[in-house]
Copies of this chain bind each other. A is one copy, B any other.
Amino acid sequence: MSENTAYLVKPRDFLFGESEDDALELDCGKKLYSVNIRYETYGELLPDGSNAVLILHALSGDAHVCGRHSPDDRKPGWWDEMVGPGKPIDTDKYFVVCSNVIGGCSGSTGPRSLNPRTGKRYNMDFPVITMADMVRAQKRLMEHLKIKKWLSLVGGSMGGMQALEWAITYPDLMESVIPIATTARLSPQAIAFDWVGREAILTDTNWRDGNYSENSEQKGLSIARMLAHITYLSDESMHHKFGRELQDTASYSFDFKRNFAVESYLEYQGRRFTERFDANSYLYITRANDYFDISAKAGGELAKALEPVKCRFLVVSFSSDWLFPAAQSVELVKALLKNRAEVSYCDIKSSYGHDAFLLEADTLGKMISDFLRNRLEAVRGR
């Protein structure tokens, strides 16, 4: 493919759960009807079905991993450096799938969707979902696409959590899993940050118990996003990127408006986020994160929880990630090894903090590309 030609991709929809039998059962005990899954696929499935790769997106991601929807799209998908023709996850070799999580606001059924029972938006009537619920919906998509087994499940951050959930729930349905910058269970510190972010939304008078008007400012969501954003960077990367630089002024402005470059950056990130994300989705998805603990059903014993696992693993962490620190990946790797799983592990030296999984495409790309090629050769050689 020429560099000058945009790689054009098309979002698709898969609707299920119209009937009682077909509805999606949720961990909270409720059922979800008329569930839409927005997804994209790239490349072609080999006749033997061996080259399917599922990519799982992070908190604010979506199904649009790479390429452009139209030639004049300003930006490509969120992981375009990693996925596409000739890229590390090479769509000339692999059949790549990515879907928006349920609870999200980028096409799949979530709080912003119409509740089939009322004809109105769910908003806060949407049921509280879990990572396992998201994965159960992805499993339906897998069946719909007639994929028998994934060559690999690849996900960073919350995407990695879904990959781990897949590995213990459907151990026969994948050859390998690549959890990146993630954890087997959310730490109390991460739960605490989520709590504060949600409180900012819940106490925002414009949010109106979830029934906010499209035109109203969502300051609560903006605050939640700014806070989360700090946890995605590292102390070091903030020093490099902003230091104590001032914005627009030569000296302190002696007021409470943005004065430092870092304040200006956060304000921009917060505002931008409210333009594209649903405050209610933010509540539901962060709650799913809090509740994520694959060891829960095994009484907190991670090694025991991972007993069902059968596939190979490539676990990747980043040295300056303090949201899901390397120690949590090491804990996961040890628990996998206890189960005699075949695990490769790398802690990539990076100053980018948690966001490194999006920014260290070179190092990460080489690692993933080799791992996937080896997996495909092993499977096809059988």
Contacts and interface: CB of A to CB of B under 8 A. Distances in A.
A183 to B, nearest CB: 12
Interface residues of A, number: 56
A32 to B, nearest CB: 13
A56 interface: no
Q: For the complex, would chain A's binding face be called helix, strand, loop or mixed by DSSP majority?
A: helix
A266 B196 contact: yes
Contacts of A204: 203
A291 interface: yes
Nearest to A286: B256
A188 interface: yes
A179 interface: no
A227 B196 contact: yes
A127 B28 contact: no
Nearest to A203: B219
A329 to B, nearest CB: 14
Nearest to A243: B188
Interface stretch (A143-151, A234-242, A356-364, A372-380): A234-242
Interface in A211-248: 219-220, 222-223, 226-227, 230, 233, 235, 238-239, 241-244
Nearest to A219: B203
A283 to B, nearest CB: 6
Contacts of A187: 235, 238-239
A293 interface: yes
Contact of A256 (B186, B252, B283): B283
A290 interface: yes
